[in-house]
A and B are shown apart, each in its own frame.
Chain A
């Protein structure tokens, strides 16, 4: 069982927006503004899409945005494109000597 809880699946049509949640506790997601999101295409390595809750690394489209409320972080993909179909994983700082990840969410573009 993963330390952070994500829905197993999400979907949307091209052009629509989809939001994926990541729920933790006050010891991780709720306690720090250090949530990261990763995109992973089948058979490929994860790619950093969001860090520090809402910051985008260079080269990540601004269609990807992050936010947090309480113990739940969210990743929103706006203007869905076919290439956005992938697994998305969240992670959080937890203050101690371990790093929790979510179980991953499979995003399907209909």
Chain B
């Protein structure tokens, strides 16, 4: 079945630094990928929709200059958390679909801890 790989699975960084998270579709091409964030004991919150070859579409309240998304190829989208602060500590999850109407396939998430 379709597989989405996310890397790294966890990362610890110091406040003020930037962190890049990669999301790859391993056996299919994904023109659209999604980035979610999940705080402990809460549901997933959609942050942005990543479109190959064009600018990402951010949900209301998500700072596009803080969460930089690049979707340079049909199999790779990256999320960069710039100038990370402790309140950015969260579980970041990406997803992709391989055909227009197919279900979403999710990565296993990246646990970000900002100290």
Instruction: Determine if chain A interacts with chain B.
Output: no
B interface vs A, CB < 8 Å?
Answer: none
A interface vs B, CB < 8 Å?
Answer: none
